[in-house]
Amino acid sequence: MNLPFYIAKRYLISKKSHHVINIISWISVSGIGIATMALVIVLSAFNGLQTLVEQLYASFDPDLKITAVVGKTFDVTTFPKDKLLALNEVDFLTENLEDVALFKYSDKQTVATLKGVETTFYKMTGLDSLMYEGRYIDDTENIHYLNFGYGIASNLSLYINTGITEEVSVIIPKKGQKKSLIPGEEFHRKFATPSGLFSISPDFDNKYVLASLPFVRSLLDKPNQVSSIEIKLAKNAHWATTKAAIQQLVGEKYKVQTRYELNELVFKTNETEKWITFLILSFILVIASFNIIGSLTMLIIDKKEDVWILKTMGANNKLVQQLFFAEGMLINLLGAVSGMVFGALLCWIQMKFGLLRLNGGIVDFYPMELKWMDFVSISAIVLSIGIIASWFPVKVLTKKYL
């Protein structure tokens, strides 16, 4: 066994001439351990929230979305849809058409985005399983159905479980229509029956009302137009490569965006918050490492006689410095390992048993997710701080006192 490490290990676990040195040493271990545990728990909590946000957005937004570079809509008959469906990486492809509309129900009215979708949209996103009230129903020849975001339904005081007494009026202004003397002539107007309320997140619940694509095309009088083409990729598909291939197929007239690009601000904000929190907790770790400096300072002063004995036996200054440096690193490593183990254990307990509940939240329990890259980052920062905290007193104080 390496001599400096062996002696350092003995110094860590053996009694000192002054009992306070032992106390400070274990306070140092505890301080590093608690700060490391906090890093593991907080980063895992951010991972859980990020995964939850991704799952929520995946319930509505596609993996890839194709829109026109110029204009809000484009003619689907000239779009190379068959070429995209021939790609092995494409699982689902759906058309949709959306526009802002006024919805009137009873004596209430509100403005929202009306989105016409194909039946495959519900299969692609799994939205039919996220209905808060009611259920998804296909249109019939004479009846059209609407699925409301929970926030929009609340504005209209429209709740499926309490019974629907009348249809909802959907009104959209005619584009480019001159003001008419006949009331209502400048508007498209149709009626539809509410069938379900979905609840995903406020971003969608307060914005969208879903209808069938033929209904919206008929309402807007745009039989071959779509606002976008939405694609769900196969599980093994590489997003960047597939996006580039699709962009090449559709040409420069169309823009292809991933779900992360569509919601860039949301995902970047989550990531930024995570690493800012990491830096703040790292600063706390730096403060905790001052205990190592204090512990080593007192140990160096306490072990003057031991050092003198070692020198009479042939030890040089380098070996003495390595001895106390190893002592500081042992304190640091013991705190880091114990902190990561306890942090991972607490996260696992939360993931398995859900001790921390979220009353009235989107999920029942606070989400947690352990990622091995977080442990690599935590190990790197803890070891870096430990090396600096151990090197300073060894380099300076051994010269001063020994």
pLDDT tens-digit series, residues 162-176: 776 688 999 998 875
Same domain, 250 and 305: no
Pair 303, 4: CB distance under 8 Å: no
Same domain, 215 and 343: no
Beta-carbon contacts of residue 273 (< 8 Å; ≥ 6 apart): 46
Say how many domains are in the chain. 2
The residue count of the chain comes to 402
**Tokens linked to 327:** 């002592």
Same domain, 52 and 72: no
pLDDT at 207: 94
Closest CA to 79 of 229, 223, 232, 212: 229
DSSP 314: T
Where a domain ends, among 259, 289, 313? 259
Mean pLDDT of the chain: 85
Pair 130, 102: CB distance under 8 Å: no
Residue type, 390: S
Number of H helices, E strands in the chain: 13, 12
Same domain, 91 and 182: yes
CA distance 304 to 293: 17
**Host domain of residue 379:** 3-57+266-401
Which pLDDT tens digits describe the chain residue by residue (402 residues)?
Answer: 466 666 666 666 665 555 566 777 788 888 899 999 999 999 999 999 888 888 888 888 899 999 999 989 999 999 999 999 999 999 999 999 999 999 999 889 999 999 999 999 988 888 877 788 888 889 888 889 999 999 999 999 888 877 766 889 999 988 755 555 444 567 889 999 999 999 888 889 999 999 999 999 999 989 899 999 999 999 889 999 999 999 999 999 999 999 999 888 888 888 888 889 999 988 888 888 888 877 777 777 776 676 676 667 766 667 777 777 888 888 888 999 999 999 999 999 999 988 888 776 667 788 999 999 999 999 999 999 888 888 877 777 666 655
* Angle between helix 19-58 and 317-353 (nearest 10): 40
Same domain, 250 and 291: no
Beta-carbon contacts of residue 99 (< 8 Å; ≥ 6 apart): 72, 113, 114, 172, 216, 220, 227
Q: Could you give phi then psi for residue 363, rounded to 5 degrees?
A: -120, 160
Pair 193, 167: CB distance under 8 Å: yes
DSSP 79: S
In DSSP terms, 1 is beta-bridged to none
pLDDT at 246: 95
Same domain, 71 and 160: yes
Closest CA to 244 of 236, 253, 254, 256: 256
Same domain, 19 and 47: yes
CA-based angle 174:180:185, to the nearest 5? 50
3-state helix, strand, coil in the chain (%, to 5): 55, 20, 25
Which residue matches tokens 């965006």?
Answer: 257
pLDDT at 387: 87
CA distance 188 to 101: 10
CA distance 296 to 290: 10
Same domain, 234 and 331: no
Where a domain ends, among 233, 259, 285? 259
* Model confidence pTM above 0.85: no
Residue type, 314: G
Same domain, 75 and 153: yes
- How does strand 225-226 pair with strand 145-149? unpaired
Where a domain ends, among 238, 259, 280? 259
Q: What is the pLDDT of residues 111-130, one digit of tens each?
A: 999 999 999 998 888 887 77
- Count of beta carbons in the 10 Å neighbourhood of residue 78: 9
Same domain, 89 and 44: no
Same domain, 124 and 231: yes
Same domain, 234 and 352: no
CA distance 144 to 278: 51
